Amino acid sequence: MRVKTALVTVPVLRLATACTSDDSGRPAERTDPPARTDTSTGTGKSGDATVPLSSPQLERAALATGDLPGFQVSAGKSALAPSGQPAADKRQCQPLADAMGDKPSPQAARTVNRGLGSLKTLGLAVSASLSSYSEADAGKLMDSLRSAVTACGAGFKASLEGRSGAYREVEASAFTARGADETVSWTTVGTSDGAVAPIHLVVVRKGATVARFMALDLARRTPPQVPQEVADKQLAKVAQVLAG
């Protein structure tokens, strides 16, 4: 893959570097600081999905190597990946730009990120994150994403750390995540300097917990799709942590 293609857009860079490995083929080491121990009182109680998960709970619920046969899982992200929340050129499209940032939206209290590389489908890369919200903010996030997908079909532009990309053909897509309270799924095509990258995004809510997935085909063979087993496994792990 040409470097130009890897830098086409913010999510492409994030995904292309999230699933790297060292020379031994082991998952890449974390490049971000380890999560701090959470000392707040907002921790998920056994079976209560409406209470935000603490940082340690999010780490336990996040996907890990061995959870999904056929996928390599890495924690954190590469130091080459940009950090922060992309800025959209259209206010109504900001929720879609935020969804491609370090966290699904600025209201997330805590977020952990994972990168998944498929060992079966060459080139398929998936970025997964798990975030704690208040249940009200989690609900507002889903509403804002649905509205943005409807309003931004004609596309928008987004920039982060001096890098920019254009997103066209924003379209809602069908996706059912088992165990989710609600799901928003859409596809878009990122372009920059002539390079093109179709992207599939899925955001799901379970009470006060939000899981976000982005998928692209680095080999550019077929339109990317977030694997059903990835989303289902993530929601299943959240349920396990909630159950204590």
Q: What are the backbone dihedrals phi and psi of residue 195, each rounded to the nearest 5 degrees, phi first?
A: -85, 145
Compute the average pLDDT of residues 13-25: 40
Compute the average pLDDT of residues 45-54: 81
- 61-118 tens-digit pLDDT: 999 989 999 999 988 665 556 678 899 999 999 999 999 999 999 999 999 999 999 9
d(CA 236, CA 56): 17
11 band by pLDDT with thresholds 50, 70 and 90:
low
Question: Among the listed ranges 29-33, 80-84, 181-185, which one has the minimum average pLDDT value?
Answer: 29-33
Compute the average pLDDT of residues 190-211: 90
d(CA 32, CA 113): 10
Q: Which of 103, 167, 122 is CA-nearest to residue 19?
A: 122
Q: Which of 240, 226, 39, 243 is CA-nearest to residue 114?
A: 226
* In the block, residue with structure tokens 């942590």: 241
Q: Are 88 and 78 in contact (CB under 8 A)?
A: no
* CA distance readout (Å), 188 to 38, 106, 156: 36, 22, 10
Question: Among the listed ranges 24-28, 55-59, 123-127, 151-155, which one has the minimum average pLDDT value?
Answer: 24-28
Q: What b-and-e string marks burial along 63-96, b requiring 16 or more CB atoms within 10 Å of the CB? A: beeebbeebbbbbbbbeebbeebbebebeebbbb
* Sequential DSSP letters for 12-48: HHHHHHHT-B-TT-PBPPP-SPPPPPP-SS--PPTT-
Q: Are 202 and 231 in contact (CB under 8 A)?
A: yes
pLDDT, residue 218, reads: 78
Q: Which of 66, 202, 197, 192 is CA-nearest to residue 129?
A: 202
Q: Which of 93, 100, 90 is CA-nearest to residue 163?
A: 100
pLDDT, residue 244, reads: 84
Compute the average pLDDT of residues 123-127: 90
39 band by pLDDT with thresholds 50, 70 and 90:
very low
220 band by pLDDT with thresholds 50, 70 and 90:
confident
d(CA 30, CA 33): 8
Question: Among the listed ranges 67-81, 140-154, 189-203, which one has the minimum average pLDDT value?
Answer: 67-81
* In the block, residue with structure tokens 């603490």: 54
35 band by pLDDT with thresholds 50, 70 and 90:
very low
Compute the average pLDDT of residues 222-240: 94
34 band by pLDDT with thresholds 50, 70 and 90:
very low
